Structures are given as structure tokens and as C-alpha cells.
Amino acid sequence: MSCNCENNGQQTLDQTIAKVDAIIGRIGTERNVIIPLLQALQEEFSYLPGDAIERIYEKTEIDRAQLISVSTFYSQFRHIPYGKHLIKVCTGTACHVKGATNVYDSFRRELKMDHDNITTNDQLFSIEKVACLGCCTLAPVVQIDEKIYGHVLPGKVNEVIDEFLEQEIQQQKATVKKTKSRVPGEIRLGMGSCCQASGSSDIYKELHKTSDELGIDVTIKSVGCVGVCNKVPLIDVVDEKGEITRYPNVKPEEIKEILHYHFKPGSLLKRLKNNLFNRVDTYHTDLTWNNVIWKPENERTGVINSFLSEQIHIATEGYGYLAPLNLEEYMGHGGFNALKKVVSEYRPNEVVKTVLESGLRGRGGGGFPTGKKWEMVATSTSPEKYVICNGDEGDPGAFMDRMILESYPFRVIEGMLIAGYATGANKGVFYIRAEYPLAVKRIRAALEFCREKNLLGKNIAGTNFSFDIEIFEGAGAFVCGEETALIASIEGERGFPKQRPPYPAVAGLNGLPTLVNNVETLSQLSFIINKGLNKYLKIGTDNSKGTKVFALAGKIKNGGLIEVPMGITLNQIIEDIGGGVEGGEKLKAVQIGGPSGGCIPANLCDVQVDFDAFNQMGAMMGSGGLVVLSEKDCMVDMARYFLSFTCEQSCGKCTFCRVGIRRMLDILDRLCSGNAVMEDIDKLEELAINVKKSSLCGLGKTAPNPVLTTLKYFRSEYEEHVQGLCKTGTCKDLIQYVVTDDCIGCTKCAKACPVDAIPYTPYEVHRINTETCVKCGLCIDECAFDAIKKVPIKDTVASE
């Protein structure tokens, strides 16, 4: 096979070897550097070429057995060359419920990829499914190379491809420099990943361009994630008088008007003011823009204010005004005071005691008391200990850790330093998920800034506390969020969890005592120290203190990242913060905690957010993914979705997880395709109970939760599936598309159908050829007369 891309086809062996040698020189030759080494190779060659691998055997301690074992375990590594551009279709939870599978199929159809090919014949595109791009509120989401597209409907796929290619061709226009008049005030623009995905970099460019054009010299500031991810791009304009006006969902073409409105670029333009005022208003009530319902500005701001009113910002303190990488500003708002206080006024065991008393529990899923874990590490006399910040965040519907790392890097670093001081550790590692390049970049920069200010390194802030931090990038394995698997991967092994005890707190990384804490857990610390125990203890319930960040997504009106006090009810979250179920549908259930969590039915949604309350219901706080499901969502499909995720992510070591989950999935597949019998439901339950009991690590022990909770609360839906009925029309094999007599013969569906399953018959009722129909749903989206319906196959058979 020959490949035309410049990167991999025409390199001579010598060139390849020279490059590999340079990489080895930079990264090292020990066995434990294998993951960074392979990452660097892939960065260079875009996959792992055989020649490069052979060179590794020659030049490093890494042998063939280790290389095969590791490189095939992590999904990041590719063994075959890819096309020039990579399309990643998100199939995370939020995107799944919004129809991501259809989007994936559409791309394949549109790009004419057949069989199992993942690359187009012209080597232009390769396609991949990924679990959560971290922009769940824009679901379904697709990423092509670096560019993220939100709200991608199956019918819009060709437009997305065209737009991408168009962009490729466009040349960078030279920016015109003009003299600007300095005006007071500033413009704040959210630059988290979601924001960037929905075009804030375009807005950023536009802001600069337009202010140049208009000659307005106003401070344009990028701030971290603003939380209201479905309203982004969002800008706050602080005018001369210090008044803040918020513009959600801004578009580049609006920028000019907004700038004009707030900042008078010299008197000559003053007369335009009234004129423009009106025009701004029309823009904001324009109903024609894609996917977005526009409301007058005051109303829109209203929505956001209620979205924010129930929230408390601890982990996300500084929300909306702090620039992620501005250390001075962070310090100006009290940043690193907690650290300084701790190192100068507290003895380590006093810090541990404070954390114990605060009742803080781990936010990584399990809810283990943080103070207890610290105590375990602190009591060890080992001169060397580690603190690991777990930023692997593998839940396919959650992205709060990413947001915190991207937007509040200094707070996490501060938390880690406090943890290091308290436990007597001297080294820290940020373990960050492969899919979060921006988080890695920000943390790296933030660490550099801290080092310059002597907040990191030797004798921090003039004391004898020394601590340094490194970054380790994950390579794509959900199970590596599990602490022992995480440690195995840092050590250069496949991510097999180890049996505990011994706990990492006793023997962790390199056999040394290791504290593993979640990103969010660490972000709560500076508040506890700064504001004092009393203030912290007031927030939350008896056994769950403080706040929890959730990624609110799915069928919800105002999704996004929210930080709420423990003890708030799910209903409050959905109604008061989320604005209710999208499209006025009825709430069916809330899926909480991702693949380890469970579904809580609507009638139990008055439950308070609390570790133990969720556990009692068979769900789990988990990472904090909160997916709202409406009547239109199928619970059996939901269970199958999560199980297919855990099945793919199982490390494969132990029997119950490796084979048991597969056998559960077999049954769910049968249910969703109408091939199951009643006994299968009992068999599924028996398997679920035993996999939960007998798996070796948390992945297998929690994987059955989505099945067990849906069986508990929605058993009748399983029974219906045995009878061949999926009332929501989600399970494709159980439904077919039919045109009803409401059809006026407009031919739109026939044109929309990607596989020509609808003959073109103007002015006549159309018919769908069920043999060729791929059930993509494009015709339904297209029909203006609501004349196409999904009906159970069983029923049509019976009535015909």
C-alpha cells in the first residue's frame, strides 16, 4: 500500500531513524518512559511506523513484549497510517442521546467509506468514534483536526465537510493595523474548550480585528470556562462606567455593533449611536439563525441569571472574571494565600486534621473521606512520597475536571501543594486525559509561572517546604482513572489495576506512598483553608460537605457546568438551574455518574445530592455526569450504551468483567434487536449481580449499575423489548419508518434520503422502501407536515 501524505510515505529509513533517535534522546531510554515515547513518535509520524518501533528495540530498554502489550492497550496509539484529516465523532453520553450514531453513519456514507474502512480511498479523511469531546452541551459534537463542530445533525454532515475544506483553502488575511484610541473598560470572553468549540476563537479574532478597524483600544481578556456552555460564545462587556452587559451566543457579525454600542470610537461616530441601538435589537431577536432561538437581550440575560443563581462557586471561584493563566490576578483575588497560610502557620498534621474535620470526600467517584487518605500517607515515614492529581476523567459524559484544569489551573496546583505539605510528599504528578490538550497546555504554563514566583520547586515561599510537579498525559483508557491502573500506566505498563490492599497510600507509584486525589477534590482545599472550617461545614448535608460540579447535559434546556451545594435536589437542578426538560417534554429519568452510575427515575428526583443517598438508590455520584432523559429516551438502549462503553474499556484481566460484561451485552443486544426471550432478563440480572460482586476492580464492580438500576425502575420496558416493542422508537431494529396520509407529496423527504429509499413521486403520498431504509431519520427532520412516523415493526405486521 502506498500513501501519498507527506508525513509518512516518502521518508527514507535514515530520516525516520534520525527522528526516532532525536525523540529517544529527548525522552529517555528506560522502560517506564514508553508511553511518552510512543506519544512523541505518534506526534511526529501520525502513527507508529514499524521502522520506528524497531529502532526503539535497538536503542532503549523497551522490548517487544512490553511494546506490544502497552501500545495495543491504549486506544490513542495507531498502528496504521491515517488520512490527512481526522474526523472524531463524539459518541459520549450526551451525544449518544442526541443521535450521534446517525451522525457517524452519515459521515461514513457521505465520505463513501465502506466495510470496515476508516480512511477514505483518497486518504483525505479518517474517522473515529471518541468518548466525549467535553462539549456535551453542544451535542452532537464532531471534531475535525483541531476544529470542533457543535449541533451536527446527520443532514448537515456534508455542509460540515464542505465548510472544513473551504476553511482549509482560505488564506490567512493580513490584519490591518490602525492607530487606536485607548478607552477604559474591558471585554471578557470565555475561552474554555466548549467556548472554543462554539467559535469563541473566531469571536476573539473578530474582537481584535473589529477593534482595530474601529480604532477602539479596549482590553480584550480571555477568561476561563463560564459554565453556561450552551450560551457560548459569551462575552461580558464592561463599559466605561463599570457596568457589565452580558451577550450570550454572540456571532462574529455582531461584534461590530456591540463594540459600537458600548465604546464610542471618537466623537465623529457618535451620531450613529441611536441607529445602532436599534440594529442591535434586531440582531438579537432574529429568529432565522441556525439551531438557536433568539430572545431579546434582557430576557436572555435573565435565563443566565437564574442558571447561575442556585450555584455556589468554590472549585470554580473566580468564575467569569479570572483569566486562567494570569497568576498576578489569581493572587490578587486571594490565590495562594491558603498555601502561604498553611506553610507558615500550620504543622502538617494540623492541615490533615482540618481536612478531616471539614468532612471533605473525594470527588473522583468513590467519595472516600479525603482526610483519612491523607492521614494514611502522612503517617508513613518514607522520605519520598507522591501526590497524584487524577485528571483522567474518562466518563463519556462529563467534563468538569477538564474545565477546572483549563480555567483554574492555579487553584488545582495550590490544592496539590497543600496536599503535598500536609502529607510530607515532595513530588507531584498531574495525570491528564489524552483528549485534553488545552488542559495540558494550561497546566504546563501555569506550572512555569509558579516556578518563576517560587511557588513551586525548592523552598517554596521561603520556607523549607520543597515540592515539584510533572505532567503525565494519559493515552486513552478509561480504566486508568482507577488509581492503581493509573499508577501502572505512569510506570510504563498496560493499565491493569492491582489488587488493593496495599493501597497506593501505602505502596503506590514506584512502590512509594502515594496520595491520589481528584482534580475537584484538590480545588476545594483553598476555600476550606481561606474561609475556615465553619463556613465550609455550613454547605452541604450531614455526610457530604461542600459543593459538587456537575456536567448537566442531555435533554435539558440550559445545560452546562454547574457547581451546586450538596443537598440540593435533582429536581431543583433540573428545573431551577436547567430550566426544565428541553422542548417541554416530560422528565423520565436522570442518569448520574456515567458508566458507573445509574438511572434515577423522575418520581425519585427529589433526592438530595449526597454520596450516600445516591449509593442507596443503586446509582453513584461517580464523576458527576448528569444526563437528563426524557420520555423519548429508551432505558434499555441507555443500559446497552453504557455497557458497550465499559465492555470496550475493560482492561481484560479478570473473568467477570472481561467475559461477564460481554455476555450481558449479548443479552442487551438481543433485547434491542427483538431477539430476546423472557428468561434473558433474569439471566441478565443474575450476571449483573455477579459481575458486580466478583470483579476485581471498580470498573467491573460498578459497570452493572446502569443495568441494575434500569431493571429496578424500568423493568416493564425490558419486557416490552422482549415482545418486540420499543415505545420510544430508539431501537432501530424494532421500528420502521412509514409515511402517513398527511403527506402532501412535497418530495422533500425523497430528496433528503441519503440512500434513495423514498421514490420521488410529486403530489402523491410517498412510500418508504423498508429494505433500503437505513433509519437515519433525515426524512423526519425534513418533513414539514409531520407525515413520517416511526412505528413498531410488530404493529405494522399485525395490522397489515
Partner 1 sequence: MQILINGKTVTAQEGETILKIAERIGYSIPTLCYADGAKHKSSCMVCAVKNTQNGQIIPSCSTVATDGMQLDTESDEIQQIRLMSLELLLSDHRADCEAPCSMVCPKGLDVERMLSFYDAEDYQAAYDVIAGAFQLPEVGCDSCKAPCEKACRRGTVDEPVAIRKIIHEVVDLFADKTDLGGKDKFNIDKKLFQSKLGRFSDDEKERLKETVTTKSSCLHCACSGKSDCKLREYSSAAGIKRTRYGLSSTLPVMQKEHVTGNLWFEQAKCVRCGLCVYNSTNGFTFKDRGFGMQVVIPTENKGNVSEKLAQLCPSGALYFSTKTPVEK
Ligand X SMILES: Cc1cc2nc3c(=O)[nH]c(=O)nc-3n(C[C@H](O)[C@H](O)[C@H](O)COP(=O)(O)O)c2cc1C
Using the contact rule CB under 6 A, the part of the chain among 53-61, 226-234, 239-247, 696-704 near ligand SF4 is 696-704
Q: Which is nearer to ligand X, 660 or 792 (CB)?
A: 660
491 phi and psi, to 5 degrees?
Answer: -80, 0
For residues 37, 38, 41 and 47, what is the CA-based torsion angle, rounded to 10 degrees?
180
Question: What's the rounded Cα separation, in Å, for the pair 104 and 102?
Answer: 5
Residue choice 49, 92, 155, 497 for contact with ligand SF4 (CB under 6 A): 497
683 is in the binding site of which of ligand SF4, partner 1, ligand FES, none (Cβ under 5 to 8 A by kind)?
A: partner 1
- Among ligand FES, partner 1, ligand X, none, the one that 362 touches (CB under a kind-dependent 5 to 8 A) is ligand X
Residue 105 to residues 120, 413, 686, 775, Cα–Cα distance (Å): 14, 42, 34, 10
Task: Answer whether the bond into residue 497 is a cis peptide, omega within 30°.
Answer: no
Contact call for residues 595 and 646 (beta carbons, < 8 A): yes
Residue with cell 407536515: 785
* Closer Cβ to ligand X, 190 or 362, answer by number: 362
Spatial distance between the Cα atoms of 181 and 266, rounded to a whole number of angstroms:
8
Q: What does the alpha-carbon distance between residue 414 and residue 210 come to, in Å, rounded to a whole number?
A: 38
Query: DSSP strand E in 728-785: where?
Result: 735-739
Q: Check binding of 136 to ligand FES (CB under 6 A).
A: yes
Nearest by Cα to 454 from 564, 343, 309, 311: 343
Rule CB under 6 A: say whether 521 interacts with ligand X: yes
Continuous segment of H or E residues that includes residue 48: none
* Alpha-carbon gap, residue 777 to 783, rounded angstroms: 10
Phi, psi dihedral angles at 260 (to 5 degrees): -55, -45
Residue 719: φ, ψ to 5°: -65, -40
Q: Which does 603 bind (CB under 5 to 8 A by kind): ligand FES, ligand SF4, partner 1, none?
A: none
Distance of closest approach, residue 448 Cβ to ligand X, in angstroms: 24
Per CB under 6 A, 368 contacts ligand X:
yes
Q: Is 392 in the site for ligand X (CB under 6 A)?
A: yes
Q: Which stretch binds ligand X (CB under 6 A): 13-21, 120-128, 390-398, 666-674?
A: 390-398
- Note whether 325 binds ligand FES by CB under 6 A: no
CA distance 90 to 105: 12
Nearer to ligand X by Cβ, of 120 and 518: the residue is: 518
133 scored as a contact of ligand FES (CB under 6 A): yes
Comparison of 285 and 690: residue with beta carbon closer to ligand SF4: 690
Distance set, CA 235 to CA 21, 396, 639 (Å):
47, 28, 39
Smallest distance, Å, CB 363 to ligand X? 5
Binding of ligand FES at residue 413 (CB under 6 A)? no
* Helix/strand/coil (H/E/C) assignment for every residue in 621-639: CCCCEEEEEECCCCHHHHH
By the rule CB under 6 A, 394 interacts with ligand X? yes
Beta-carbon count within 10 A of 531 CB = 16
CA distance 47 to 278: 54
Query: Nearest distance from residue 70's CB to ligand SF4, in Å?
Result: 15
How many residues lie near ligand SF4 (CB under 6 A)? 14
Among 364, 420, 593, 625, binds ligand X (CB under 6 A): 364
Exactly one of 652, 723, 796, 797 binds ligand SF4 (CB under 6 A); that residue is: 652
Distance CA 333, CA 468 (A): 24
Tell me the β-bridge partners of 389. 430, 517
Binding mask 688-727 for ligand X (x = CB under 6 A): ---------xxx----------------------------
**Closest C-alpha among 571, 688, 698, 700 to residue 626:** 571
Candidates 116-124, 184-192, 356-364, 459-467 — which segment interacts with ligand X by CB under 6 A?
356-364
**Residues 399/405, Cβ–Cβ less than 8 Å:** no
Cell numbers placing 639: 443500559
Does residue 153 bind ligand FES (CB under 6 A)?
no
Q: Which does 368 bind (CB under 5 to 8 A by kind): ligand X, ligand SF4, ligand FES, none?
A: ligand X
Query: Could you tell me the smallest distance in angstroms from the CB atom of residue 712 to ligand X?
Result: 22
Looking at the Cβ atoms of 140 and 618, the one nearer to ligand FES is 140
Residue 647 binding: pick among ligand SF4, partner 1, ligand FES, none (C-beta 5-8 Å cut-off by kind): partner 1
Q: Return the one option of ligand X, ligand FES, partner 1, none that residue 397 interacts with (CB less than 5 to 8 A, by type).
A: ligand FES
651 lies in the binding site for ligand SF4 (CB under 6 A): yes
Dist CA 596 CA 621 (whole Å)? 9
Q: Minimum CB separation from ligand SF4 for residue 74, in Å? A: 14
Nearer to ligand FES, 370 or 596 (CB): 596
Which residue in the block uniquely carries the three cell numbers 459538587?
Answer: 548
- Cβ(192)–Cβ(224) under 8 Å? yes
Helix, strand or coil for residue 599? strand
Sheet holding 598-601, edge to edge: 560-565, 547-554, 625-630, 587-592, 598-601
The residue (of 198 and 524) whose beta carbon lies closer to ligand X is 524
481 binds ligand X (CB under 6 A): yes
Longest dimension (CA), the chain: 85
- Residue 92 interacts with ligand FES (CB under 6 A): yes or no: yes
Say which entry of partner 1, ligand X, ligand FES, none residue 394 contacts (CB below 5 to 8 A, set by partner kind): ligand X
Residue 220 near residue 207 (C-beta atoms within 8 A)? yes
Q: How many residues does the chain have?
A: 800
Stretch that binds ligand SF4, among 123-131, 184-192, 542-550, 653-661 (CB under 6 A): 653-661
| Vertex 258: Cα angle to 252 and 264 (nearest 5) | 135
139 binding ligand FES? (CB under 6 A): yes
Applying CB under 6 A, does 657 fall inside the site for ligand SF4?
A: yes
Closest by CA position to 570, among listed 399, 562, 545, 403: 562
Q: Could you list the residues that contact partner 1 (CB under 8 A)? A: 63-66, 68-69, 72-73, 477, 494, 496, 498-499, 647-656, 658-663, 666, 683, 687, 690, 693-694, 696
Contact between 503 and ligand X by CB under 6 A: the answer reads no
Q: Which residues contact 688 (CB under 8 A, 6 or more apart)?
A: 664, 704, 707, 708, 711
Residue 592 contacts ligand FES per CB under 6 A: no
Half-sphere exposure in the Cβ direction for 195 (13 Å, CA) = 28
Q: Does 393 bind ligand X (CB under 6 A)?
A: yes
Partner whose binding site includes residue 73, from ligand SF4, ligand FES, ligand X, none (CB under 5 to 8 Å by kind):
none
Applying CB under 6 A, among 429, 551, 602, 697 the residue interacting with ligand SF4 is 697
d(CA 762, CA 703): 51
Residue number with CB closer to partner 1 (96 or 498):
498
Binders in 611-670 for ligand X, by CB under 6 A? 623
Residues at the site binding ligand SF4, with contacts judged by CB under 6 A: 479, 497, 650-654, 657-658, 695-697, 699-700
Residues at the site binding ligand X, with contacts judged by CB under 6 A: 362-366, 368, 370, 390, 392-394, 478-479, 481-483, 516-518, 521, 623, 697-699
Residues at the site binding ligand FES, with contacts judged by CB under 6 A: 90, 92-95, 132-136, 139, 141, 396-397
